[in-house]
Amino acid sequence: MALARSIVSLFGQWRRPKDPKSLGALAEDLAAWFLRLKGYRIVKRNWRTRHGEIDLIVEKGQTLVFVEVKARRNQRRGRPEEALTPQKQKRLLRLAELFLATFPHPQHEIRLDVITVDFSCKRPKITHYQGVIYG
């Protein structure tokens, strides 16, 4: 796990986009690489409905994981984890239910995770919080 975090953060130190959309896209790319290095398979990226978007949907073994990626360039607006408000958590749960209604996965265990990418350091710091969003 430490090796995956190191490899991904090394790549991130060379790209520091200034605009929020590019920063978010880079954070999602880093999170996807990080998860692949940890043995996850990417099912969908940026799955959108009129109700919102799920950043990453991945699976490992029999577990289907819905992942919200949060990034911060600096700490002025708080840590990336603090950006996951109760309203955003409810929306992610609703989106996960919509995904499962559209693409049933009856044999899978379901989990909702958060990956944070903190760009305020020399190398981006990636943290994976597993099963942190509950219905």
pLDDT of residue 71 exceeding 70, the answer is yes
CATH 3.90.1170.50, domain 2-129, yes or no: no
* Residue 103 pLDDT grade (very low, low, confident, very high; cuts 50, 70, 90): confident
pLDDT of residue 121 exceeding 90, the answer is no
Q: What is the pLDDT of residues 28-70, one digit of tens each?
A: 999 999 999 999 999 999 999 999 999 999 999 989 999 999 8
Average confidence (pLDDT) over 66-80: 78
Name the residue with tokens 């002025």.
76
pLDDT of residue 98 exceeding 70, the answer is yes
Top-confidence residue, 36 or 135 = 36
pLDDT of residue 83 exceeding 60, the answer is yes
* Residue 72 pLDDT grade (very low, low, confident, very high; cuts 50, 70, 90): confident
Q: What is the pTM of this model?
A: 0.83
What distance in Å separates the CA atoms of residue 65 and residue 68, rounded to the nearest whole number? 10
Domain boundaries, the chain: 2-129
* Residue 14 pLDDT grade (very low, low, confident, very high; cuts 50, 70, 90): low
Element (H or E) spanning 56, and its range? strand 52-60
What distance in Å separates the CA atoms of residue 2 and residue 98, rounded to the nearest whole number? 34
Which positions ≥6 away from 3 have C-beta within 8 Å? 37
* Residue 4 pLDDT grade (very low, low, confident, very high; cuts 50, 70, 90): low
